[in-house]
Structure 1
Amino acid sequence: MLGLALLSPAVVAMVYGLSRAGEESSFAATGVAVPIVIGLALLTVFVAHALRTTKDPIVDVRLFGYRSFSASATLMFLSGAALYGPLFLLPLYYQQVRGFDPLTTGLALAPQGIGTALALAVVGPLADRIGARPLVAVGALITTVGTLAYTQLPANPNDVLLSASLLLRGIGLGAVGVPTMAAAYQQLPHSAIPRATSATNVIQRLGASFGTAVVALILQQQISDHATGTDAYATTFWWSLGSVLLLLPLATLLPRRNQGRADNRHDTDQQRN
């Protein structure tokens, strides 16, 4: 109960602070900094409690002792930012800069969903055969290529090129997501899987909130600096591209192949780093 009482308001406070960052155009604004600091303080107390408790904590921070889990958790945070940040930007770009109505905007964004669906159909079996590391690296590269066109937005962009870029983004993000999630459980004992699931859910949501807050803040600052609509969005997409590039070095920390899951204390202790 104490863990829930600490973690829930910590996550709520941090997500609220991050959501206000775009509105305030600053992470230093009181309405942004105060809830984030409160959330971090509560999270620190929760971590200390989780390490001391003899019961199963709501989020088991000891899971980060497994290299595959800690690498996957970091990748999930960044991939959440890489996915949800542009999901915030793209509809705004098409409606505010291009003048599309909501239906046309939805149709313009459909290729990304199609790409993700195509990737999900094949990455699962591939992850079992070759492991998460190469798939995540290739997925990050594909996502990078798919994002580049939006960092070079001309006044009259080629819609076919943008649609193809979104298709690539969807394929790349799908290739990153499934193997990363699978790798998080690879070295864990069966008894730890429920606790790992709750931890990954929290991490993904924080990454999504962080990514959205950062791109909203950058976009607002670009507009405030009197950048044109197209230039403001293109510059903001460069920052979004940065979160994708960070996936590449982290992919090297994932297991190369499926090494199996430990079923006893001796095996799991040997797999800890």
Structure 2
Amino acid sequence: MMSTTSAPAVPRQAVVTALVLLVGGLAVIFDSTIMSIALKTLAIELQVSVSTIQWVVTGYLLALAVAIPVVGWAQARFGGKRLWLVALTVFGLASIACSLAWDAPSLIAFRVVQGLGGGLMMPLMATLAIQQVPGGVGLGRLMAVVSLPAALGPILGPTIGGLILTWLDWRWLFWVNVPLCLIGFLLAWKVLPADEPRGKSVLDWTGLALISPALVGILYGLSNVSRVGGLGSMQVWLPVALGLVLLTLFALTQLRRPAAALVDLGLLKRRPVASSSAVLFLSGASLYGAMLLLPLFFQVVRGTDALTAALLLIPQGVGALLSRTLAGRLTDSIGARVVAIGGFLVMGLATIPFALAGAGTNQWWLMSVLLVRGLGQGAVMIPVMSVAYLGLERDEVPHASIITRLAQQLGGAFGTAILAVILERATSGATGLADLAYGFDIAFWWAVGFTVVAIAVCLMLPARPKKVAEAKEPAET
């Protein structure tokens, strides 16, 4: 019995690699979350509108997405360690440049460069660690380490950002990244195992020319939803429609020329990769949409400022941290499906109190609920992200990282846009605080409904830990 339920040990080199990559990865996540409360200050300091300074975030996210598809080719061409060091250097230098920006256009331009560096780092972080795991041994526990920045970012980023904006100049928002980049570079230089370039050296320019504008169009269009007030605006549907057309053409070209493909979409024929990608995309509303609702609920209904709202959300991040190790162990021992369904179930139940809350609901009760919701959130991400790598060969891992990262980006943007529309319509015409609270209640009930959908999608995940041979089975149709 022990042989079927106990989790095998994670190789020491894989853990060391993950911890070293963690330092640089924290800089990328902190930079994303710190910006969430800085836009108003930046607009005032640089004397531009909030809609203009919003491009500090939008430009970064678009650049992040555009860089992701080239990671597989770049790693094969230059080697993983070398690519990580280059990407970390680009991100660090761009952070310094952002701190020296003289106006809004220069800051936005430097943020785009920053996003390019970060876009290379995020999928590469998972790839380099997982490639140290022969046969996918202990993937769940390893993923608990690799994805730690995603859990720490929402806790520490807004808090650090709020303290900087309170006591220091806004330029220190970017200097925070520099020590992490320097330490991360030195550790990576000393510790990461050297890997020689391997694989094709010719870049798929056709694929790149299709996927880059496709991602920009889809993400840009979805980012406009909350600004223009719905999906019917031409600023939303036109770029999204063009992006979807280009994305379809990209998929066709990649499948027709697998040997020269920028991204090996043939991996989607394998059930672990296909199911992980589907859950990451389709659960976007429950995982990421609620991240839009919660801070707005505290600010609009409860009347807090942005920093206080960020502090009130800390229990959710703490919960996610607390459940990660156990979720990793359970994923390795009993399989991803049960753990993910359990996590989504906890998330859904812990969202219901917010669908019943109002301006007078006890604050400590809501923070306790957020702690529980965080426990579920941490339990969800580990199995869903780790299952994609079951049974993959070393050269296939970068492509799985790209596919799942893009699914996560697109699903998160789609889910956030959908809940933004629901919230806008539910609160339009509100004449008082009670009406606003009722509008948020409706939006939170939708978030609960999306969690139910996510649970159903999780049935696609493998039911138990798979052997390598089993993991290579085609996806069920």
Gap change, CA 1:191 and 1:261, over 3 Å in 2: farther
In the alignment, is residue 260 of structure 1 matched against residue 260 of structure 2?
A: no
Equivalent pair of 1:88/1:212 in contact (CA under 8 Å): yes
Gap change, CA 1:111 and 1:56, over 3 Å in 2: farther
In the alignment, is residue 117 of structure 1 matched against residue 321 of structure 2?
A: yes
How far apart, CA to CA, are the structure 2 residues paired with 1:211 and 1:268? 29
Cα deviation for residue 35 of structure 1 reads 0.3
**Structure 1 match to 2:424:** 220
Gap change, CA 1:36 and 1:4, over 3 Å in 2: same
Q: Amino acid of the residue matched to residue 444 of structure 2?
A: F
Equivalent pair of 2:221/2:235 in contact (CA under 8 Å): yes
| 3-state DSSP of counterpart to 2:263 | coil
Cα deviation for residue 251 of structure 1 reads 1.9
Residues 174-228 of structure 1: CA distance to partner in whole angstroms, max 9, x if unpaired?
1111101111111433332110101111111111111111111111112224371
Cα deviation for residue 103 of structure 1 reads 2.9
Gap change, CA 1:82 and 1:58, over 3 Å in 2: farther
Task: Count residues with an aligned counterpart.
Answer: 269
Task: Provide structure 1 residue ranges, at least 5 long, that are not aligned to the other structure.
Answer: none
Query: Where does 1:164-243 land on structure 2 (aligned, <5 Å)?
Result: 164-226=368-430, 228-243=435-450
Residue from 25, 37, 40 that aligns with 2:244: 40
| 3-state DSSP of counterpart to 1:100 | coil
Gap change, CA 1:164 and 1:268, over 3 Å in 2: closer
Cα deviation for residue 119 of structure 1 reads 1.1
**Structure 1 match to 2:331:** 127
**Which of these two proteins has the greater Rg computed from alpha carbons?**
2
Cα deviation for residue 137 of structure 1 reads 1.0
In the alignment, is residue 136 of structure 1 matched against residue 343 of structure 2?
A: no
Equivalent pair of 2:285/2:450 in contact (CA under 8 Å): yes
In the alignment, is residue 98 of structure 1 matched against residue 302 of structure 2?
A: yes
Gap change, CA 1:101 and 1:155, over 3 Å in 2: closer
How far apart, CA to CA, are the structure 2 residues paired with 1:65 and 1:17? 29
Residues 48-105 of structure 1: CA distance to partner in whole angstroms, max 9, x if unpaired?
1011114242332222211222111111113343222121111111112211123321
In the alignment, is residue 89 of structure 1 matched against residue 293 of structure 2?
A: yes
Q: Which moved more, 1:249-258 or 1:6-15?
A: 249-258
TM-score normalised by the chain length of structure 2: 0.54
| 3-state DSSP of counterpart to 2:259 | coil
TM-score normalised by the chain length of structure 1: 0.92
Gap change, CA 1:271 and 1:51, over 3 Å in 2: closer
Equivalent pair of 1:22/1:214 in contact (CA under 8 Å): no
Residues 250-271 of structure 1: CA distance to partner in whole angstroms, max 9, x if unpaired?
2222112221224xxxx77645
Higher relative contact order (CA 8 A, sep 6+): 1
Gap change, CA 1:126 and 1:200, over 3 Å in 2: same
How far apart, CA to CA, are the structure 2 residues paired with 1:219 and 1:270? 42
How far apart, CA to CA, are the structure 2 residues paired with 1:21 and 1:74? 23
**Structure 2 match to 1:154:** 358
Q: Amino acid of the residue matched to residue 124 of structure 1?
A: G
Residues 14-40 of structure 1: CA distance to partner in whole angstroms, max 9, x if unpaired?
011111122222212111110011000
Gap change, CA 1:113 and 1:82, over 3 Å in 2: same
**Structure 2 match to 1:244:** 451
How far apart, CA to CA, are the structure 2 residues paired with 1:253 and 1:187? 17
Equivalent pair of 1:68/1:183 in contact (CA under 8 Å): yes
How far apart, CA to CA, are the structure 2 residues paired with 1:161 and 1:56? 55
Gap change, CA 1:74 and 1:236, over 3 Å in 2: same
How far apart, CA to CA, are the structure 1 residues paired with 2:213 and 2:384? 27
How far apart, CA to CA, are the structure 2 residues paired with 1:77 and 1:270? 22
How far apart, CA to CA, are the structure 2 residues paired with 1:205 and 1:39? 14
Runs of 4+ in 1 over 4 A off after TM superposition: 267-272
Q: Amino acid of the residue matched to residue 449 of structure 2?
A: G
**Structure 1 match to 2:140:** none
Equivalent pair of 1:145/1:165 in contact (CA under 8 Å): no
Cα deviation for residue 140 of structure 1 reads 0.9
How far apart, CA to CA, are the structure 2 residues paired with 1:259 and 1:66? 12
Percent identical pairs in the alignment equals 38
How far apart, CA to CA, are the structure 2 residues paired with 1:268 and 1:88? 35
Gap change, CA 1:186 and 1:16, over 3 Å in 2: same
How far apart, CA to CA, are the structure 1 residues paired with 2:400 and 2:260? 12
Equivalent pair of 2:283/2:451 in contact (CA under 8 Å): yes
How far apart, CA to CA, are the structure 1 residues paired with 2:404 and 2:473? 23
| 3-state DSSP of counterpart to 1:203 | helix
Residues 137-167 of structure 1: CA distance to partner in whole angstroms, max 9, x if unpaired?
1101100111001111234112222112211
| 3-state DSSP of counterpart to 1:252 | helix
How far apart, CA to CA, are the structure 1 residues paired with 2:451 and 2:438? 20
Task: Provide structure 2 residue ranges, at least 5 long, that are not aligned to the other structure.
Answer: 1-204
